[in-house]
Amino acid sequence: MIKKVLYLSAILMITAVSCKKETTIEKTVQTEKKFAELEKANWFLGRWENNSAEGNLSEIWKKENDSTFFGQSYFVIKNDTVFAEHVSLEERNGKLSYVVTVPNQNDEKPVAFELTSSEASTLIFENPKHDYPSKIIYNHVGADSLVAEIRGMKDGKVKNEFFRMKKVE
């Protein structure tokens, strides 16, 4: 009788351990799949810069958590920050959004741009209701370069600007 109890106990322990391993593996796979859209932007992470005679453009991206990257962008002329913005790249319900907050603009309210197109090295975010920009495009060029482009209507005319940056960290 004792042998049967020990045998059944051993089977139950093995089953419990194997079920626990399967559950852990399943959770890992679910987490990986859960934020697949954000994973497309892993190449954003790090510090990007463009130093020119006009000034210094810096964009810094960090992973905030499994579903969000946080970015800061600054343009400095001499020692004065003439432009700054805070961006969060958020995946919610399988959709990726580029959410921008710019001090002294839009009553400090964030503006969201939805991912409308993605390829291995290009992400396009759009908000057709926003005047300028209404489209934000990031192109990963090689291992250490990116080009950010913004497009939209400004003063009644179509305008686009390009920001070329190199990865420094």
54 shares its domain with 115: yes
40 shares its domain with 30: no
17 shares its domain with 56: no
115 shares its domain with 132: yes
47 shares its domain with 27: no
54 shares its domain with 129: yes
94 shares its domain with 153: yes
Supply the DSSP symbol for 142.
Answer: T
The string of pLDDT tens digits covering residues 44-82 is 999 999 999 999 999 999 999 999 999 999 999 999 999
Which residue range forms the structural domain that includes residue 14?
A: 1-34
pLDDT at 34: 78
Sign of CA dihedral 104, 107, 108, 111: negative
pLDDT at 82: 96
27 shares its domain with 44: no
- Whether residue 133 is preceded by a cis peptide bond, meaning omega within 30 degrees of 0, is yes
Chain CA centroid to CA 117, Å: 14
19 shares its domain with 81: no
Cα–Cα distance measured from residue 14 to residue 47, given in angstroms and rounded to the nearest whole number:
48
Report the CATH number that the domain containing residue 136 is assigned in CATH. 2.40.128.20
133 shares its domain with 54: yes
Percent of the chain at pLDDT above 70? 80
Cα–Cα distance measured from residue 36 to residue 69, given in angstroms and rounded to the nearest whole number:
13
Residues 128 and 121: beta-carbon distance below 8 Å: no
Q: Is the pLDDT of residue 91 over 50?
A: yes
The string of pLDDT tens digits covering residues 95-122 is 999 999 999 888 889 999 999 999 989 9
Q: Is the pLDDT of residue 41 over 60?
A: yes
Q: How far is CA 12 from CA 26, 101, 107, 111, 123, in A?
A: 21, 55, 61, 54, 50
The string of pLDDT tens digits covering residues 4-28 is 544 544 444 444 444 444 455 544 4
Q: Please, what is the average pLDDT of the chain?
A: 86
Mapping DSSP onto H, E and C, the string for 101-117 reads ECCCCHHHCCEEEEEEE
The string of pLDDT tens digits covering residues 128-148 is 999 899 999 999 998 899 999
101 shares its domain with 22: no
27 shares its domain with 40: no
Cα–Cα distance measured from residue 35 to residue 92, given in angstroms and rounded to the nearest whole number:
8
Number of domains in the chain: 2
- Cα distance between the two ends of the chain: 66
**Which tops the pLDDT comparison, 12 or 163?**
163
Cα–Cα distance measured from residue 91 to residue 115, given in angstroms and rounded to the nearest whole number:
10
